[in-house]
């Protein structure tokens, strides 16, 4: 009897240590039909296993079931959800295979209970001698008070194994999302959680298995879940979390749902930093992509350790559709890149797709997980393809059918713009008619300039520019001026219109006037100049 028991223990240890963590989430297929008595629910499972035990073939994982562990399980069938999944990614460097699948079940409306995947065979851990695991999910199909819909659980995505250097503080950010736009919070899994009057063991032998770590999360709407820790001893550790969503209007109420997230952390005996990914878009960004349109982006990875290189990019989550990544290209001694392309099909219209990847260097250090979210939408125009086949050629003609409402709206907008422009133009003409008189001959503009004093140069004409000359006076000129009469004005006025009548003024008076003019401060006098034609210079010569 004891020999048989010893043999079973040895067999368990040989075949054990193959579980790498996982998650169970759920959603109502038709959340807007709360009056139905039977609710269609989709159960999504993601598990990671030892690649040595389960190579990436058709299906991987232990063949067990997700069972109900609540007192009232409604009409849930404990054999309806099997835990074996198709494999979709693997990494032999870390001995890990990852698979996921969705299962459709039918539950009574208003059901609320806890389901769990429980077994034993965790990977060999540093801080725990127990190999048992428990992954639990709270399902609540009651109608929400705020939206009148059935809730769907939040989601969180992490790789099965995360590597960090020894003796260096590391920060892990767990991306969490909720389709109902609820506030999401993470917490450590608890071995004695009280849910629906039932004590639930959410983590079995790996509860708070990360010594000295700090968990930061709050119901502030930022969906933050951050773990800060320093790995002192090389080896494997387990992170066991529960992700919970809350109604924004009732944050103090119990969570609407609670889903698990459990993964491994491998502390490597290396004392340098992990690589980092530099994307063209922020980590966690959401992008709208049109169906049948190729999306292309370049990802850069920067080394954190000298004398190393980026070995490969490990994709943790694949979007549906046609996806491709190029080989790693070295840019310089510290920088490497890959090109990621993805084309969504028409079957993905209205869905949300996720792509997550990590850069792995030659020391097996990983970068933080880099994720992008895609919202797939249809074409703005619906193409209609007509194919004509003859014995010689095949001719394809594509014609775009436009939405009539869009064309009508554009035409009405242009008509309204034309009417408003016409009204504005007429108003401007009525209130500001001067703006529209460009065809009239512009008025003659006169300019004035000062005449310098006798001690300065006299320049009557504007051209040649700045050509200055000094006047010379002769006796003959004085006699001519004496035979003239000058008006009693204080300025010359228009010299072409003013003239001197010798018979009106005696010579003595004319000489007096001339002397007065020559001694008068000419800076006070101005001569109007007609800009329509030039003025010939005046030379005064006195002999």
DSSP string, 140-190: E-SBPTTTSSB----EE---SEEEEETTSEEEEE--EE-TT--EEEEEE--
**What's the confidence (pLDDT) of residue 220?**
83
CATH class of 272-379: mainly beta
- From start to end of 409-525, where are the E strands? 446-450
- Return the CATH fold of 16-268: Immunoglobulin-like (2.60.40)
Cis, bond preceding 28 (omega within 30 deg of 0): no
d(CA 429, CA 493): 40
Q: How many residues does the chain have?
A: 543
* 36 CB neighbour count, 10 Å cutoff: 12
How far apart are the C-alpha atoms of 448 and 229, rounded to whole Å?
86
pLDDT score, position 520? 52
Give the residues across from 313 on adjacent strands: 359
Domain 16-268 shares a fold with domain 272-379: yes
- The secondary element (H helix, E strand) that includes residue 8 is helix 2-15
Q: Are 217 and 224 in contact (CB under 8 A)?
A: yes
Query: Cα(505)–Cα(361) distance, rounded to whole angstroms?
Result: 113
CA atoms within 13 A on the CB side of 542: 11
Residues 291, 376: contact at Cβ < 8 Å?
yes
Nearest CA to 374 among 330, 322, 416, 335? 322
Tell me, what's the pLDDT at 58? 80
Q: In the chain, where are the structural domains located?
A: 16-268, 272-379, 446-530
Q: How far is CA 287 from CA 179, 209, 296, 300, 352, in A?
A: 16, 36, 12, 19, 10
Q: What are phi and psi of 162, to 5 degrees?
A: -115, 130
pLDDT along the chain (543 residues), means of 10: 36 62 94 80 95 91 95 94 94 92 95 94 82 93 91 91 93 90 94 86 91 90 90 93 94 93 95 92 91 94 95 90 92 96 92 91 94 87 39 33 53 77 72 56 48 44 44 46 44 42 50 54 45 46 45
Residue-level pLDDT at 438: 47
């Amino acid at each position: 009897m004891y020999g048989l028991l010893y043999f079973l223990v040895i067999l368990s240890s040989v075949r054990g240590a193959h579980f790498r963590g996982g998650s169970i989430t759920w959603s109502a297929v038709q959340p807007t039909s709360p009056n139905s008595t039977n609710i269609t629910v989709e159960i999504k499972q993601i598990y990671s296993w030892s690649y040595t035990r389960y190579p990436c073939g058709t299906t991987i994982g232990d063949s067990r079931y997700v069972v109900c562990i609540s007192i009232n399980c409604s009409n849930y069938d404990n054999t309806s959800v099997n835990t074996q999944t198709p494999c979709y990614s693997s990494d032999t460097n870390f001995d890990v295979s990852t698979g996921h699948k969705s299962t459709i079940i039918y539950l009574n409306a208003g059901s609320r209970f806890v389901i769990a995947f429980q077994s034993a065979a965790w990977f060999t851990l540093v801080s725990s001698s127990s190999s048992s695991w428990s992954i639990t999910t709270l399902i609540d199909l009651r109608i929400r008070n705020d939206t009148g819909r059935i809730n769907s659980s939040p989601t969180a995505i992490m790789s099965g194994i995360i590597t960090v250097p020894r003796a260096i503080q590391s920060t892990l950010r767990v991306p969490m999302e909720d389709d109902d736009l609820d506030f999401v919070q993470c917490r450590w899994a608890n071995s004695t959680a009280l849910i629906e009057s039932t004590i639930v063991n959410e983590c079995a032998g790996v509860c708070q298995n990360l010594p000295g770590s700090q968990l930061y999360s709050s119901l502030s709407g930022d969906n933050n879940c951050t773990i800060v820790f320093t790995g002192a001893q090389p080896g494997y550790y387990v992170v066991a979390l529960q992700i919970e969503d809350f109604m924004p209007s009732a944050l103090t109420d119990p969570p609407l749902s609670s889903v698990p997230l459990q993964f491994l952390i491998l502390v490597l005996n290396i004392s340098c930093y992990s690589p980092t990914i530099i994307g063209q878009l922020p980590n966690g960004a959401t992008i709208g992509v049109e169906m049948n349109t190729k999306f292309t982006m370049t990802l850069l990875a920067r080394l954190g350790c000298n004398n190393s290189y980026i070995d490969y990019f490990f994709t943790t989550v694949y979007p549906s559709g046609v996806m491709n990544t190029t080989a790693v290209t070295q840019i310089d001694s510290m920088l490497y890149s890959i090109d990621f392309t993805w084309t969504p099909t028409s079957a993905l219209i209205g869905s949300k797709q996720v792509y997550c990847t990590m850069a792995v260097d030659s020391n097996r250090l990983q970068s933080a997980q880099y994720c992008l979210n895609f919202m797939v939408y249809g074409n703005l125009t619906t193409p209609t393809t007509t194919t004509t086949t003859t014995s010689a050629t095949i001719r394809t003609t594509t014609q775009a059918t436009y939405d009539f409402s869009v064309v009508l709206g554009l035409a009405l907008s242009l008509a309204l713009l034309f009417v408003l422009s016409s009204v504005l133009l007429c108003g401007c003409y009525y209130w500001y008619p001067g703006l529209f008189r460009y065809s009239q001959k512009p008025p003659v503009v006169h300019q004035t300039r000062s005449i310098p004093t006798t001690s300065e140069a006299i320049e009557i004409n504007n051209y040649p520019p700045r050509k200055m000359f000094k006047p010379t006076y002769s006796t003959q000129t004085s006699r001519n001026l004496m035979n003239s009469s000058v008006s009693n004005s204080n300025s010359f006025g228009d010299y072409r219109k003013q003239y001197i009548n010798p018979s009106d003024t005696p010579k003595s008076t004319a000489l007096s006037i001339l002397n007065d003019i020559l001694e008068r401060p000419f800076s006070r006098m101005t001569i109007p100049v007609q800009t329509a034609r030039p003025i010939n210079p005046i030379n005064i010569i006195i002999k």
